[in-house]
Amino acid sequence: MYCRICGTDQSVKYRRGPRMNMCGCCSKDTPKKSSYENFNKRYWSDPRLVTESVKRSFYNDYKTSMCNLEQYIDQTTDILY
């Protein structure tokens, strides 16, 4: 088992808050993560129009980031008016 953030295999265990395998160091700095269902509801304007592979790719990127959901949305989207 390895840490999904830094890749170490030292002190790694499944962390319920971030919802992934992490070492103690990364666990301290990573916020609790939203569920896949909540992520899709909040991230996509219409999740039905997005393929499952794209949704999974973005969710995996979000989970391994140091951002909470609001920060991730801010950093990865651009609202056009």
Domain count along the chain: 2
Tokens representing residue 71 in the block: 């920060």
- Give CA–CA dist 41/80, Å, rounded: 19
Q: Which domain holds residue 21?
A: 1-30
Instruction: Specify whether 50 is located in the same domain as 81.
Output: yes
Instruction: Specify whether 46 is located in the same domain as 76.
Output: yes
Instruction: Specify whether 39 is located in the same domain as 15.
Output: no
Where in the chain does DSSP place strands (E)? 13-15, 20-22
Instruction: Specify whether 38 is located in the same domain as 13.
Output: no
What is the tens place of the pLDDT at every residue in 4-34? 989 999 999 998 877 789 999 998 888 889 9
What is the tens place of the pLDDT at every residue in 37-61? 999 999 999 999 999 999 999 999 9
Instruction: Specify whether 43 is located in the same domain as 72.
Output: yes
Instruction: Specify whether 47 is located in the same domain as 12.
Output: no
